[in-house]
A and B are shown apart, each in its own frame.
Chain A
Amino acid sequence: MSSTETLDFTATEIMTVAASRLLKDGTVCFVGIGLPSTAANLARLTHAPEVVLIYESGPIGAKPTVLPLSIGDGDLALTADTVVGTPEIFRYWLQGGRIDVGFLGAAQVDRFANINTTIIGSYDAPKVRLPGAGGAPEIASQAKEVFIVLKQSPKAFVAKLPFVTSAGYLDGGDARARAGIPGAGPTAVITDLGILTPDPVTRELTLTGIHPGVTVEQVKAATGWDLKISPDLKTTEIPDAGTLAALRDLHARTAAAHGISQGQAGGGEG
Protein backbone atom coordinates (compact mmCIF):
# COMPACT_ATOMS: atom_id res chain seq x y z
CA MET A 1 0.00 0.00 0.00
CA SER A 2 3.01 2.26 -0.55
CA SER A 3 1.05 4.47 -2.93
CA THR A 4 -1.52 5.43 -0.26
CA GLU A 5 1.09 6.00 2.41
CA THR A 6 2.52 8.86 0.39
CA LEU A 7 -0.85 10.61 0.85
CA ASP A 8 -0.26 10.71 4.59
CA PHE A 9 -2.97 8.36 5.76
CA THR A 10 -2.96 4.62 6.15
CA ALA A 11 -5.23 2.11 4.44
CA THR A 12 -6.91 1.43 7.79
CA GLU A 13 -7.48 5.14 8.33
CA ILE A 14 -9.20 5.69 4.99
CA MET A 15 -11.30 2.57 5.58
CA THR A 16 -12.39 3.94 8.96
CA VAL A 17 -13.08 7.41 7.60
CA ALA A 18 -14.99 6.07 4.57
CA ALA A 19 -17.12 3.87 6.85
CA SER A 20 -17.70 6.77 9.23
CA ARG A 21 -18.93 9.07 6.44
CA LEU A 22 -21.77 6.66 5.61
CA LEU A 23 -23.37 7.26 9.01
CA LYS A 24 -25.77 10.19 8.75
CA ASP A 25 -26.41 12.50 11.67
CA GLY A 26 -29.33 11.31 13.82
CA THR A 27 -29.03 7.68 12.72
CA VAL A 28 -29.79 5.06 15.38
CA CYS A 29 -26.86 2.67 15.02
CA PHE A 30 -26.34 -0.76 16.60
CA VAL A 31 -22.57 -0.94 16.87
CA GLY A 32 -20.24 -3.92 16.83
CA ILE A 33 -16.93 -3.66 18.68
CA GLY A 34 -13.65 -3.03 16.84
CA LEU A 35 -13.66 -1.26 13.46
CA PRO A 36 -17.43 -0.53 13.47
CA SER A 37 -17.16 1.10 16.89
CA THR A 38 -14.17 3.17 15.77
CA ALA A 39 -15.98 4.38 12.64
CA ALA A 40 -19.24 5.10 14.48
CA ASN A 41 -17.51 7.08 17.21
CA LEU A 42 -15.49 8.99 14.63
CA ALA A 43 -18.79 9.94 12.96
CA ARG A 44 -20.15 11.09 16.33
CA LEU A 45 -17.04 13.21 16.97
CA THR A 46 -17.08 14.79 13.50
CA HIS A 47 -20.04 15.14 11.11
CA ALA A 48 -22.75 13.27 13.05
CA PRO A 49 -22.90 14.54 16.66
CA GLU A 50 -26.49 13.32 17.05
CA VAL A 51 -25.85 9.74 15.96
CA VAL A 52 -27.29 7.36 18.59
CA LEU A 53 -24.94 4.49 19.42
CA ILE A 54 -26.40 1.31 20.88
CA TYR A 55 -24.14 -1.51 22.11
CA GLU A 56 -25.50 -5.02 22.71
CA SER A 57 -24.26 -5.01 26.31
CA GLY A 58 -27.02 -2.50 27.13
CA PRO A 59 -25.89 1.14 26.70
CA ILE A 60 -28.24 3.27 24.59
CA GLY A 61 -26.88 6.62 23.38
CA ALA A 62 -23.31 5.84 24.44
CA LYS A 63 -20.81 8.69 24.02
CA PRO A 64 -17.53 7.06 25.07
CA THR A 65 -14.57 9.39 25.60
CA VAL A 66 -12.19 6.65 24.43
CA LEU A 67 -12.79 3.60 22.25
CA PRO A 68 -14.12 0.66 24.22
CA LEU A 69 -11.80 -2.32 24.27
CA SER A 70 -14.70 -4.64 25.02
CA ILE A 71 -18.39 -4.36 24.32
CA GLY A 72 -19.07 -3.82 28.03
CA ASP A 73 -16.54 -1.17 29.04
CA GLY A 74 -17.63 1.01 31.94
CA ASP A 75 -17.23 4.20 29.89
CA LEU A 76 -20.10 3.03 27.63
CA ALA A 77 -22.43 2.76 30.61
CA LEU A 78 -21.32 6.01 32.26
CA THR A 79 -21.78 8.07 29.06
CA ALA A 80 -25.04 6.49 27.86
CA ASP A 81 -28.50 8.06 27.98
CA THR A 82 -29.65 4.85 29.66
CA VAL A 83 -28.39 1.31 30.22
CA VAL A 84 -30.84 -1.56 29.84
CA GLY A 85 -30.40 -5.31 30.18
CA THR A 86 -29.17 -7.33 27.22
CA PRO A 87 -32.55 -9.09 26.70
CA GLU A 88 -34.21 -5.70 26.37
CA ILE A 89 -31.63 -4.56 23.80
CA PHE A 90 -32.43 -7.52 21.58
CA ARG A 91 -36.18 -7.72 22.24
CA TYR A 92 -37.41 -4.13 22.41
CA TRP A 93 -34.81 -2.11 20.56
CA LEU A 94 -33.57 -4.44 17.80
CA GLN A 95 -36.49 -6.84 17.26
CA GLY A 96 -38.80 -3.88 18.00
CA GLY A 97 -37.60 -2.31 14.75
CA ARG A 98 -35.89 0.78 16.18
CA ILE A 99 -32.43 0.34 14.63
CA ASP A 100 -31.60 2.24 11.42
CA VAL A 101 -28.13 0.85 10.82
CA GLY A 102 -26.43 -2.30 12.05
CA PHE A 103 -22.68 -1.75 11.85
CA LEU A 104 -20.80 -5.06 11.75
CA GLY A 105 -17.36 -6.50 11.29
CA ALA A 106 -16.75 -9.98 9.87
CA ALA A 107 -14.09 -12.64 9.53
CA GLN A 108 -15.31 -13.52 6.02
CA VAL A 109 -17.92 -12.32 3.52
CA ASP A 110 -19.05 -13.83 0.24
CA ARG A 111 -20.22 -12.23 -3.01
CA PHE A 112 -23.75 -11.80 -1.63
CA ALA A 113 -22.52 -10.15 1.59
CA ASN A 114 -23.30 -13.11 3.80
CA ILE A 115 -21.08 -13.14 6.91
CA ASN A 116 -19.06 -15.90 8.56
CA THR A 117 -17.74 -15.52 12.11
CA THR A 118 -18.13 -19.16 13.17
CA ILE A 119 -15.59 -21.59 11.70
CA ILE A 120 -13.04 -22.16 8.94
CA GLY A 121 -13.24 -25.72 7.64
CA SER A 122 -16.11 -27.99 8.58
CA TYR A 123 -18.34 -27.34 11.58
CA ASP A 124 -17.77 -30.74 13.17
CA ALA A 125 -14.01 -30.71 12.67
CA PRO A 126 -13.09 -27.05 12.28
CA LYS A 127 -9.66 -25.98 11.09
CA VAL A 128 -10.16 -22.71 12.95
CA ARG A 129 -12.80 -22.11 15.58
CA LEU A 130 -13.84 -18.41 15.42
CA PRO A 131 -15.72 -16.67 18.28
CA GLY A 132 -19.18 -17.28 16.83
CA ALA A 133 -22.34 -15.33 16.13
CA GLY A 134 -22.69 -12.85 18.99
CA GLY A 135 -25.44 -10.43 18.15
CA ALA A 136 -24.80 -10.42 14.40
CA PRO A 137 -27.49 -12.79 12.98
CA GLU A 138 -30.36 -10.69 14.32
CA ILE A 139 -28.59 -7.35 13.76
CA ALA A 140 -27.99 -8.37 10.13
CA SER A 141 -31.62 -9.34 9.66
CA GLN A 142 -33.49 -6.73 11.72
CA ALA A 143 -31.60 -3.44 11.35
CA LYS A 144 -33.14 -1.39 8.54
CA GLU A 145 -29.81 -1.59 6.73
CA VAL A 146 -26.36 -2.97 7.46
CA PHE A 147 -22.82 -1.69 6.91
CA ILE A 148 -19.98 -4.20 7.04
CA VAL A 149 -16.39 -3.10 7.56
CA LEU A 150 -13.39 -5.42 7.18
CA LYS A 151 -10.00 -5.59 5.49
CA GLN A 152 -10.05 -7.03 1.99
CA SER A 153 -8.04 -10.16 1.18
CA PRO A 154 -8.66 -13.42 -0.72
CA LYS A 155 -9.02 -15.23 2.63
CA ALA A 156 -11.68 -12.79 3.85
CA PHE A 157 -13.57 -12.29 0.56
CA VAL A 158 -14.45 -15.82 -0.52
CA ALA A 159 -16.66 -17.18 -3.29
CA LYS A 160 -18.38 -19.57 -0.90
CA LEU A 161 -18.46 -19.35 2.87
CA PRO A 162 -17.79 -22.49 4.93
CA PHE A 163 -20.58 -21.28 7.25
CA VAL A 164 -23.19 -18.53 6.96
CA THR A 165 -23.42 -17.04 10.44
CA SER A 166 -25.43 -13.98 9.48
CA ALA A 167 -27.50 -13.45 6.35
CA GLY A 168 -26.65 -10.96 3.67
CA TYR A 169 -28.50 -11.61 0.42
CA LEU A 170 -28.24 -15.43 0.76
CA ASP A 171 -28.14 -16.76 -2.86
CA GLY A 172 -28.74 -13.31 -4.33
CA GLY A 173 -31.68 -11.80 -6.20
CA ASP A 174 -34.76 -11.70 -3.98
CA ALA A 175 -33.67 -14.68 -1.80
CA ARG A 176 -33.41 -12.50 1.31
CA ALA A 177 -36.92 -11.08 0.97
CA ARG A 178 -38.33 -14.54 0.15
CA ALA A 179 -36.80 -15.88 3.37
CA GLY A 180 -38.89 -13.31 5.23
CA ILE A 181 -35.98 -11.25 6.55
CA PRO A 182 -37.32 -7.79 7.48
CA GLY A 183 -34.30 -5.46 7.04
CA ALA A 184 -32.95 -4.35 3.66
CA GLY A 185 -29.59 -6.04 4.25
CA PRO A 186 -26.00 -4.92 3.71
CA THR A 187 -25.98 -1.73 1.63
CA ALA A 188 -22.22 -1.19 1.83
CA VAL A 189 -19.09 -3.22 2.54
CA ILE A 190 -16.25 -0.86 3.37
CA THR A 191 -12.69 -2.18 3.10
CA ASP A 192 -9.14 -0.88 3.16
CA LEU A 193 -9.21 -0.86 -0.64
CA GLY A 194 -12.63 0.51 -1.51
CA ILE A 195 -16.39 0.25 -1.12
CA LEU A 196 -18.54 -2.59 -2.43
CA THR A 197 -22.29 -2.23 -2.82
CA PRO A 198 -24.89 -4.81 -3.89
CA ASP A 199 -26.15 -4.82 -7.48
CA PRO A 200 -29.78 -3.62 -7.38
CA VAL A 201 -31.05 -6.79 -9.11
CA THR A 202 -28.60 -9.67 -8.56
CA ARG A 203 -27.43 -8.34 -5.15
CA GLU A 204 -23.88 -9.35 -6.03
CA LEU A 205 -21.28 -7.13 -4.35
CA THR A 206 -19.82 -4.75 -6.92
CA LEU A 207 -16.87 -2.42 -6.53
CA THR A 208 -18.42 1.06 -6.69
CA GLY A 209 -15.77 3.00 -4.78
CA ILE A 210 -11.99 2.78 -4.76
CA HIS A 211 -9.63 4.48 -2.35
CA PRO A 212 -7.05 6.89 -3.79
CA GLY A 213 -3.82 5.18 -4.84
CA VAL A 214 -5.45 1.74 -5.06
CA THR A 215 -5.77 0.01 -8.45
CA VAL A 216 -8.70 -2.09 -9.67
CA GLU A 217 -6.21 -4.96 -10.18
CA GLN A 218 -5.26 -4.77 -6.49
CA VAL A 219 -8.89 -5.01 -5.43
CA LYS A 220 -9.57 -7.93 -7.80
CA ALA A 221 -6.48 -9.73 -6.49
CA ALA A 222 -7.78 -9.30 -2.94
CA THR A 223 -11.15 -10.85 -3.81
CA GLY A 224 -11.83 -14.59 -3.97
CA TRP A 225 -14.32 -14.31 -6.82
CA ASP A 226 -14.40 -12.52 -10.17
CA LEU A 227 -15.30 -9.12 -8.74
CA LYS A 228 -17.57 -6.95 -10.88
CA ILE A 229 -16.47 -3.35 -11.25
CA SER A 230 -19.05 -0.59 -11.57
CA PRO A 231 -18.81 1.39 -14.81
CA ASP A 232 -19.39 4.40 -12.58
CA LEU A 233 -16.46 3.64 -10.21
CA LYS A 234 -15.79 6.59 -7.91
CA THR A 235 -12.57 7.43 -6.11
CA THR A 236 -12.99 7.91 -2.36
CA GLU A 237 -12.51 11.47 -1.23
CA ILE A 238 -9.28 11.96 0.69
CA PRO A 239 -9.90 12.35 4.45
CA ASP A 240 -9.72 15.98 5.49
CA ALA A 241 -7.14 17.03 8.04
CA GLY A 242 -9.74 17.64 10.77
CA THR A 243 -11.22 14.15 10.48
CA LEU A 244 -7.80 12.49 10.44
CA ALA A 245 -6.76 14.50 13.48
CA ALA A 246 -9.97 13.48 15.30
CA LEU A 247 -9.31 9.79 14.47
CA ARG A 248 -5.68 9.90 15.58
CA ASP A 249 -6.58 11.78 18.73
CA LEU A 250 -9.24 9.15 19.52
CA HIS A 251 -6.68 6.35 19.11
CA ALA A 252 -4.09 8.19 21.21
CA ARG A 253 -6.59 8.81 24.02
CA THR A 254 -7.70 5.18 23.82
CA ALA A 255 -4.15 3.82 24.05
CA ALA A 256 -3.42 6.07 27.03
CA ALA A 257 -6.62 5.08 28.82
CA HIS A 258 -6.37 1.33 28.28
CA GLY A 259 -2.63 1.09 28.74
CA ILE A 260 -2.47 -0.99 25.58
CA SER A 261 -3.17 -0.36 21.91
CA GLN A 262 -6.40 -1.51 20.28
CA GLY A 263 -6.33 -5.21 19.50
CA GLN A 264 -6.52 -5.91 15.79
CA ALA A 265 -7.76 -9.46 15.98
CA GLY A 266 -11.07 -10.97 16.72
CA GLY A 267 -13.18 -8.01 17.72
CA GLY A 268 -14.21 -7.90 21.30
CA GLU A 269 -17.54 -8.77 22.71
CA GLY A 270 -17.87 -10.40 26.05
Chain B
Amino acid sequence: MMILSGDPPRSRVLSALLIVIVALLALAPFLFPGAKPLNVATKICVFAALVASYDLLLGYTGTVSFAHTMFYGIGSYGIAIALYTLGPTWTAVGAGLACGLPLAVLLALAIGLFSLRVQAIFFAMITLAVASAFLVLASQLSGLTGGEDGRSFQLPELLRPGTVFAKGVFGITVSGRTLTYYIVFVGAAAMILALLRVVNSPFGRVLQAIRENRFRAEALGYRTVFHLTLANCIAALVAAFAGALNALWLRYAGPDTSLAFSIMLDILLMVVIGGMGTIYGAIIGAVIFILAQNYLQALMGLASSAAADAGLPLLPGLLHPDRWLLWLGLLFIASVYFFPTGVVGRLRGAARQ
Protein backbone atom coordinates (compact mmCIF):
# COMPACT_ATOMS: atom_id res chain seq x y z
CA MET B 1 0.00 0.00 0.00
CA MET B 2 2.91 2.34 0.78
CA ILE B 3 4.21 2.02 -2.76
CA LEU B 4 0.77 3.06 -4.08
CA SER B 5 0.70 6.07 -1.70
CA GLY B 6 -2.40 4.75 0.04
CA ASP B 7 -4.41 4.93 -3.18
CA PRO B 8 -5.15 1.34 -4.21
CA PRO B 9 -7.13 0.56 -7.38
CA ARG B 10 -10.31 0.10 -5.24
CA SER B 11 -11.75 -2.60 -7.50
CA ARG B 12 -10.86 -6.27 -7.59
CA VAL B 13 -11.27 -6.46 -11.35
CA LEU B 14 -9.10 -3.39 -11.82
CA SER B 15 -6.48 -4.75 -9.42
CA ALA B 16 -6.39 -8.05 -11.29
CA LEU B 17 -6.14 -6.25 -14.63
CA LEU B 18 -3.29 -4.07 -13.42
CA ILE B 19 -1.41 -7.01 -11.94
CA VAL B 20 -1.71 -8.92 -15.23
CA ILE B 21 -0.61 -5.88 -17.26
CA VAL B 22 2.38 -5.13 -15.03
CA ALA B 23 3.40 -8.81 -14.95
CA LEU B 24 3.17 -9.11 -18.74
CA LEU B 25 5.13 -5.90 -19.23
CA ALA B 26 7.75 -6.98 -16.70
CA LEU B 27 8.27 -10.29 -18.52
CA ALA B 28 7.68 -8.95 -22.04
CA PRO B 29 11.24 -9.58 -23.38
CA PHE B 30 10.90 -13.24 -22.37
CA LEU B 31 7.22 -13.77 -23.24
CA PHE B 32 7.17 -11.77 -26.49
CA PRO B 33 10.72 -11.70 -27.83
CA GLY B 34 9.77 -10.53 -31.34
CA ALA B 35 10.59 -7.02 -32.48
CA LYS B 36 6.99 -5.83 -32.90
CA PRO B 37 5.62 -7.12 -29.57
CA LEU B 38 8.57 -5.61 -27.73
CA ASN B 39 8.06 -2.29 -29.53
CA VAL B 40 4.41 -2.37 -28.49
CA ALA B 41 5.31 -3.18 -24.87
CA THR B 42 7.81 -0.32 -24.80
CA LYS B 43 5.30 2.08 -26.30
CA ILE B 44 2.78 1.05 -23.63
CA CYS B 45 5.33 1.77 -20.88
CA VAL B 46 6.28 5.16 -22.34
CA PHE B 47 2.71 6.22 -22.99
CA ALA B 48 1.41 4.99 -19.63
CA ALA B 49 3.83 7.44 -17.96
CA LEU B 50 3.17 10.19 -20.50
CA VAL B 51 -0.62 9.84 -20.19
CA ALA B 52 -0.37 9.70 -16.37
CA SER B 53 1.49 13.02 -16.44
CA TYR B 54 -1.24 14.48 -18.64
CA ASP B 55 -3.83 13.09 -16.22
CA LEU B 56 -2.18 15.18 -13.50
CA LEU B 57 -3.13 18.23 -15.55
CA LEU B 58 -6.45 17.27 -17.09
CA GLY B 59 -7.81 14.90 -14.47
CA TYR B 60 -6.56 16.55 -11.28
CA THR B 61 -6.60 20.25 -12.13
CA GLY B 62 -9.08 20.35 -15.03
CA THR B 63 -6.50 22.18 -17.17
CA VAL B 64 -6.49 21.40 -20.89
CA SER B 65 -3.02 21.75 -22.37
CA PHE B 66 -1.95 21.10 -25.95
CA ALA B 67 1.73 21.57 -25.18
CA HIS B 68 2.29 18.15 -23.66
CA THR B 69 3.85 16.69 -26.80
CA MET B 70 6.18 19.67 -26.85
CA PHE B 71 7.61 18.62 -23.46
CA TYR B 72 7.71 15.01 -24.65
CA GLY B 73 9.59 16.21 -27.74
CA ILE B 74 12.04 18.28 -25.70
CA GLY B 75 12.97 15.15 -23.74
CA SER B 76 13.38 13.16 -26.96
CA TYR B 77 15.42 15.80 -28.75
CA GLY B 78 17.54 16.41 -25.64
CA ILE B 79 18.74 12.81 -25.73
CA ALA B 80 18.98 12.68 -29.52
CA ILE B 81 20.97 15.90 -29.95
CA ALA B 82 23.30 15.07 -27.04
CA LEU B 83 24.08 11.55 -28.28
CA TYR B 84 24.41 12.75 -31.87
CA THR B 85 26.82 15.55 -31.05
CA LEU B 86 28.74 14.12 -28.09
CA GLY B 87 28.82 10.54 -29.30
CA PRO B 88 27.38 7.33 -27.82
CA THR B 89 28.45 7.72 -24.20
CA TRP B 90 26.68 7.73 -20.81
CA THR B 91 27.93 11.29 -20.35
CA ALA B 92 25.96 12.25 -23.43
CA VAL B 93 22.85 10.54 -22.02
CA GLY B 94 23.33 12.48 -18.79
CA ALA B 95 23.90 15.71 -20.71
CA GLY B 96 20.76 15.11 -22.79
CA LEU B 97 18.71 14.63 -19.63
CA ALA B 98 20.41 17.55 -17.88
CA CYS B 99 19.50 19.86 -20.78
CA GLY B 100 16.11 18.46 -21.83
CA LEU B 101 14.40 18.05 -18.46
CA PRO B 102 15.18 21.52 -17.03
CA LEU B 103 14.32 23.14 -20.38
CA ALA B 104 10.90 21.44 -20.32
CA VAL B 105 10.33 22.58 -16.71
CA LEU B 106 11.42 26.16 -17.48
CA LEU B 107 9.12 26.35 -20.49
CA ALA B 108 6.24 24.93 -18.43
CA LEU B 109 6.99 27.50 -15.73
CA ALA B 110 6.96 30.34 -18.26
CA ILE B 111 3.74 29.15 -19.89
CA GLY B 112 2.15 28.62 -16.48
CA LEU B 113 3.08 31.99 -15.05
CA PHE B 114 1.98 33.85 -18.15
CA SER B 115 -1.20 32.00 -18.93
CA LEU B 116 -2.58 30.06 -15.94
CA ARG B 117 -3.99 33.31 -14.51
CA VAL B 118 -6.38 33.59 -17.44
CA GLN B 119 -9.42 31.47 -18.22
CA ALA B 120 -8.88 27.80 -19.04
CA ILE B 121 -9.77 28.24 -22.71
CA PHE B 122 -7.07 30.90 -23.17
CA PHE B 123 -4.52 28.66 -21.48
CA ALA B 124 -5.45 25.89 -23.93
CA MET B 125 -5.08 28.30 -26.87
CA ILE B 126 -1.73 29.58 -25.64
CA THR B 127 -0.36 26.05 -25.23
CA LEU B 128 -1.60 25.22 -28.73
CA ALA B 129 0.21 28.25 -30.16
CA VAL B 130 3.45 27.53 -28.28
CA ALA B 131 3.40 23.85 -29.29
CA SER B 132 2.81 24.79 -32.95
CA ALA B 133 5.67 27.26 -32.84
CA PHE B 134 7.95 24.64 -31.29
CA LEU B 135 7.02 22.09 -33.98
CA VAL B 136 7.90 24.60 -36.70
CA LEU B 137 11.10 25.53 -34.88
CA ALA B 138 12.16 21.89 -34.60
CA SER B 139 11.54 21.40 -38.33
CA GLN B 140 13.37 24.59 -39.31
CA LEU B 141 16.46 24.23 -37.12
CA SER B 142 17.68 21.34 -39.22
CA GLY B 143 21.33 21.89 -38.29
CA LEU B 144 20.48 21.05 -34.69
CA THR B 145 17.43 18.82 -34.88
CA GLY B 146 17.81 17.18 -38.27
CA GLY B 147 14.68 19.01 -39.52
CA GLU B 148 11.87 16.86 -40.90
CA ASP B 149 14.20 13.83 -40.99
CA GLY B 150 14.91 14.01 -37.27
CA ARG B 151 18.05 12.73 -35.62
CA SER B 152 19.22 9.14 -35.53
CA PHE B 153 22.00 8.32 -33.09
CA GLN B 154 23.93 5.47 -31.58
CA LEU B 155 23.44 4.30 -28.02
CA PRO B 156 26.21 3.66 -25.49
CA GLU B 157 27.80 0.25 -25.93
CA LEU B 158 25.85 -1.33 -23.07
CA LEU B 159 22.47 -0.56 -24.64
CA ARG B 160 23.23 -1.69 -28.19
CA PRO B 161 21.35 -4.69 -29.60
CA GLY B 162 24.70 -6.24 -30.48
CA THR B 163 25.83 -6.30 -26.86
CA VAL B 164 25.01 -9.77 -25.57
CA PHE B 165 24.89 -10.39 -21.82
CA ALA B 166 23.64 -13.97 -21.82
CA LYS B 167 22.32 -16.50 -24.27
CA GLY B 168 19.48 -18.97 -23.82
CA VAL B 169 17.82 -17.37 -20.79
CA PHE B 170 14.29 -18.80 -21.05
CA GLY B 171 15.07 -19.27 -24.70
CA ILE B 172 16.11 -15.70 -25.49
CA THR B 173 19.30 -13.74 -25.78
CA VAL B 174 19.66 -11.06 -23.13
CA SER B 175 21.14 -8.11 -25.02
CA GLY B 176 21.56 -4.37 -24.75
CA ARG B 177 18.08 -4.12 -26.23
CA THR B 178 16.71 -6.08 -23.24
CA LEU B 179 18.53 -3.75 -20.86
CA THR B 180 17.11 -0.70 -22.69
CA TYR B 181 13.63 -2.17 -22.36
CA TYR B 182 14.05 -2.60 -18.61
CA ILE B 183 15.37 0.95 -18.28
CA VAL B 184 12.18 2.14 -20.00
CA PHE B 185 10.00 -0.19 -17.89
CA VAL B 186 11.54 0.81 -14.55
CA GLY B 187 11.63 4.48 -15.53
CA ALA B 188 7.94 4.46 -16.50
CA ALA B 189 6.95 2.57 -13.33
CA ALA B 190 8.92 5.01 -11.17
CA MET B 191 7.24 7.98 -12.86
CA ILE B 192 3.74 6.54 -12.39
CA LEU B 193 4.40 5.75 -8.71
CA ALA B 194 5.82 9.24 -8.21
CA LEU B 195 2.70 10.75 -9.79
CA LEU B 196 0.52 8.62 -7.48
CA ARG B 197 2.49 10.09 -4.59
CA VAL B 198 1.95 13.61 -5.90
CA VAL B 199 -1.81 13.29 -6.36
CA ASN B 200 -2.26 11.71 -2.93
CA SER B 201 -0.24 14.37 -1.14
CA PRO B 202 -1.74 17.53 0.40
CA PHE B 203 -0.64 19.26 -2.81
CA GLY B 204 -2.77 16.80 -4.82
CA ARG B 205 -5.79 17.53 -2.63
CA VAL B 206 -5.40 21.24 -3.33
CA LEU B 207 -5.27 20.47 -7.06
CA GLN B 208 -8.56 18.59 -6.79
CA ALA B 209 -10.07 21.50 -4.87
CA ILE B 210 -8.92 23.90 -7.60
CA ARG B 211 -10.44 21.65 -10.26
CA GLU B 212 -13.76 21.77 -8.48
CA ASN B 213 -13.83 25.46 -7.67
CA ARG B 214 -10.81 27.69 -8.08
CA PHE B 215 -12.30 30.67 -6.20
CA ARG B 216 -13.32 28.50 -3.28
CA ALA B 217 -9.77 27.20 -3.01
CA GLU B 218 -8.46 30.78 -3.08
CA ALA B 219 -10.93 31.74 -0.34
CA LEU B 220 -9.27 29.06 1.82
CA GLY B 221 -5.94 30.80 1.27
CA TYR B 222 -4.41 28.73 -1.54
CA ARG B 223 -2.50 30.50 -4.30
CA THR B 224 -4.04 28.63 -7.21
CA VAL B 225 -1.66 30.01 -9.86
CA PHE B 226 1.29 28.66 -7.87
CA HIS B 227 -0.32 25.22 -7.51
CA LEU B 228 -1.38 25.03 -11.16
CA THR B 229 2.05 26.15 -12.35
CA LEU B 230 3.78 23.59 -10.16
CA ALA B 231 1.47 20.86 -11.49
CA ASN B 232 2.26 22.02 -15.03
CA CYS B 233 6.00 21.81 -14.28
CA ILE B 234 5.74 18.31 -12.75
CA ALA B 235 3.70 17.11 -15.73
CA ALA B 236 6.25 18.63 -18.14
CA LEU B 237 9.14 16.98 -16.29
CA VAL B 238 7.53 13.54 -16.48
CA ALA B 239 6.56 14.05 -20.15
CA ALA B 240 10.13 15.07 -21.00
CA PHE B 241 11.52 12.02 -19.21
CA ALA B 242 9.04 9.78 -21.06
CA GLY B 243 10.24 11.41 -24.30
CA ALA B 244 13.86 10.71 -23.36
CA LEU B 245 13.05 7.03 -22.70
CA ASN B 246 11.24 6.79 -26.02
CA ALA B 247 14.21 8.29 -27.86
CA LEU B 248 16.54 5.80 -26.15
CA TRP B 249 14.36 2.95 -27.33
CA LEU B 250 13.91 4.21 -30.89
CA ARG B 251 17.48 5.55 -31.20
CA TYR B 252 15.82 8.39 -33.03
CA ALA B 253 13.93 11.62 -32.40
CA GLY B 254 11.89 13.36 -35.06
CA PRO B 255 8.78 15.49 -35.44
CA ASP B 256 6.54 12.51 -36.23
CA THR B 257 7.57 10.43 -33.25
CA SER B 258 7.73 13.12 -30.60
CA LEU B 259 6.11 16.41 -31.57
CA ALA B 260 3.17 15.60 -33.87
CA PHE B 261 -0.32 16.73 -32.86
CA SER B 262 -1.58 13.23 -33.56
CA ILE B 263 0.37 12.16 -30.43
CA MET B 264 -1.50 14.81 -28.44
CA LEU B 265 -4.81 13.41 -29.69
CA ASP B 266 -3.69 9.89 -28.77
CA ILE B 267 -2.83 11.08 -25.24
CA LEU B 268 -6.25 12.74 -24.88
CA LEU B 269 -8.01 9.58 -26.03
CA MET B 270 -5.99 7.37 -23.67
CA VAL B 271 -6.78 9.61 -20.69
CA VAL B 272 -10.50 9.62 -21.50
CA ILE B 273 -10.69 5.89 -22.19
CA GLY B 274 -8.75 4.95 -19.06
CA GLY B 275 -10.52 7.39 -16.77
CA MET B 276 -9.54 10.92 -15.83
CA GLY B 277 -8.25 11.79 -12.39
CA THR B 278 -7.22 8.25 -11.50
CA ILE B 279 -3.58 7.81 -12.71
CA TYR B 280 -4.35 4.07 -13.05
CA GLY B 281 -6.52 5.03 -16.02
CA ALA B 282 -3.35 6.02 -17.87
CA ILE B 283 -2.11 2.42 -17.77
CA ILE B 284 -5.44 0.96 -18.88
CA GLY B 285 -5.93 3.63 -21.56
CA ALA B 286 -2.43 3.15 -22.94
CA VAL B 287 -2.83 -0.64 -23.10
CA ILE B 288 -6.24 -0.52 -24.85
CA PHE B 289 -5.27 2.21 -27.29
CA ILE B 290 -1.84 0.94 -28.27
CA LEU B 291 -2.98 -2.67 -28.61
CA ALA B 292 -5.89 -1.53 -30.79
CA GLN B 293 -3.58 0.71 -32.83
CA ASN B 294 -1.16 -2.14 -33.47
CA TYR B 295 -3.29 -5.25 -33.69
CA LEU B 296 -6.81 -4.21 -34.70
CA GLN B 297 -5.91 -4.21 -38.40
CA ALA B 298 -4.46 -7.71 -38.22
CA LEU B 299 -7.44 -8.97 -36.22
CA MET B 300 -9.83 -7.47 -38.71
CA GLY B 301 -7.93 -9.16 -41.52
CA LEU B 302 -8.43 -12.51 -39.83
CA ALA B 303 -12.10 -11.79 -39.13
CA SER B 304 -12.68 -10.63 -42.71
CA SER B 305 -11.09 -13.78 -44.15
CA ALA B 306 -13.09 -15.97 -41.79
CA ALA B 307 -16.32 -14.21 -42.77
CA ALA B 308 -15.47 -14.59 -46.46
CA ASP B 309 -14.68 -18.30 -46.01
CA ALA B 310 -18.02 -18.77 -44.25
CA GLY B 311 -19.76 -17.10 -47.19
CA LEU B 312 -21.29 -14.37 -45.04
CA PRO B 313 -22.58 -11.32 -46.90
CA LEU B 314 -21.41 -7.74 -46.13
CA LEU B 315 -19.15 -8.71 -43.22
CA PRO B 316 -15.96 -9.37 -45.23
CA GLY B 317 -16.24 -5.87 -46.69
CA LEU B 318 -17.11 -4.22 -43.37
CA LEU B 319 -14.24 -5.93 -41.60
CA HIS B 320 -11.73 -5.33 -44.39
CA PRO B 321 -8.36 -4.42 -42.80
CA ASP B 322 -8.30 -1.12 -44.71
CA ARG B 323 -11.27 0.01 -42.61
CA TRP B 324 -9.46 -0.44 -39.31
CA LEU B 325 -9.32 3.29 -38.55
CA LEU B 326 -13.10 3.53 -38.96
CA TRP B 327 -13.57 0.70 -36.45
CA LEU B 328 -10.98 2.20 -34.13
CA GLY B 329 -12.95 5.46 -34.17
CA LEU B 330 -16.24 3.63 -33.54
CA LEU B 331 -14.62 1.70 -30.72
CA PHE B 332 -13.56 4.92 -29.03
CA ILE B 333 -16.93 6.59 -29.49
CA ALA B 334 -18.55 3.51 -27.94
CA SER B 335 -16.08 3.43 -25.06
CA VAL B 336 -16.67 7.11 -24.24
CA TYR B 337 -20.44 6.59 -24.54
CA PHE B 338 -20.59 3.47 -22.37
CA PHE B 339 -17.75 4.42 -20.00
CA PRO B 340 -18.10 8.18 -19.51
CA THR B 341 -15.92 8.00 -16.40
CA GLY B 342 -13.44 5.78 -18.22
CA VAL B 343 -12.73 2.12 -17.63
CA VAL B 344 -11.29 2.80 -14.17
CA GLY B 345 -14.23 4.96 -13.14
CA ARG B 346 -16.67 2.31 -14.33
CA LEU B 347 -14.87 -0.50 -12.52
CA ARG B 348 -14.62 1.52 -9.31
CA GLY B 349 -18.30 2.44 -9.58
CA ALA B 350 -19.24 -1.24 -9.97
CA ALA B 351 -17.05 -2.15 -6.98
CA ARG B 352 -18.80 0.48 -4.80
CA GLN B 353 -22.17 -1.03 -5.61
B and A form one assembly: no
